[in-house]
């Protein structure tokens, strides 16, 4: 066990518990603003795509301590690219993380809590359901974390799902965090994967 990483994770989680709901909401708006600009830039320039190209963005369900993206944010993305689709992490029976396509064609009717308030992963095959035909490979993924450092490493929720996925698939990945979640070092293990960019309410850093 990496005791330094575990201690830092627990300390940051405790600090974030004292952050008010209003403060988190205000700072999440700033994160959305920077994230929107980054995604639009990637769609238009860095990935050599025009704004009508098919593109899938992997999102995640926010933990109560983490920045929360609003439904309006996703509506704004769809407005700049009608062919933009979304996906969320899902675990197969072996515990490997993949992404499950979301149908946002009726986005105005989606209950926000359905996708963004439940921090549990969808489990493929749960209750006899088979979602295999909905699996997708995102073109870009948003990545949660408890801590991030300026070298591109992160301390996640402790299960290693995102690190294993990023080891297998070299996809452009964006970490989302409040500014106080940026630390000097995340004490990375050899298997930890760097993210491609980090967006906070004060910073936008890419190309680690």
Q: Is the Cβ–Cβ distance between 144 and 157 less than 8 Å?
A: yes
Q: What is the pLDDT of residues 46-74, one digit of tens each?
A: 455 555 567 899 988 788 899 999 888 98
Number of domains the chain is built from: 1
Residue 148 belongs to domain spanning: 3-206
| pTM summary value | 0.86
The candidate with the shortest Cα–Cα distance to 119, out of 168, 194, 65, is 65
Q: Residue 177, class by beta-carbon neighbours within 10 Å (0-12 exposed, 13-18 middle, 19+ buried)? A: buried
CB 139 within 8 A of CB 57: yes
CB 44 within 8 Å of CB 38: no
Instruction: Read off the pLDDT of residues 26-48 as tens digits, 9 standing for 90 and up.
Output: 999 999 999 999 999 888 764 55
CATH code, 119: 3.40.50.10420
């Amino acid at each position: 066990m990496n005791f330094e990483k575990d201690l830092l994770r627990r300390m940051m989680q405790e600090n974030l518990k004292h952050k008010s709901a209003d403060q988190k909401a205000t700072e999440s708006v700033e994160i959305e603003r920077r994230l929107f600009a980054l995604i639009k830039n990637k769609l238009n320039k860095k990935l050599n795509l025009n704004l009508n190209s098919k593109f899938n963005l992997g999102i995640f369900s926010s933990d109560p301590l983490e920045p929360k993206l609003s439904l309006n944010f996703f509506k704004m993305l769809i407005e700049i690219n009608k062919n933009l689709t979304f996906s969320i992490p899902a675990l197969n029976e072996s515990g490997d993380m993949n992404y499950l396509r979301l149908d946002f064609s009726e986005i105005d009717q989606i209950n926000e809590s359905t996708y963004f308030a439940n921090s549990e992963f969808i489990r493929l095959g749960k209750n006899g359901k088979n979602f295999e035909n909905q699996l997708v490979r995102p073109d870009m993924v948003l990545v949660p974390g408890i801590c991030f450092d300026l070298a591109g490493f992160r301390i996640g929720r402790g299960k290693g799902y995102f690190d294993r996925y990023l080891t297998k698939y070299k996809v452009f990945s964006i970490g989302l965090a409040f500014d106080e979640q940026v630390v000097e070092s995340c004490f990375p293990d050899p298997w930890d994967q760097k993210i491609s960019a980090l967006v906070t309410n004060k910073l936008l850093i890419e190309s680690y």
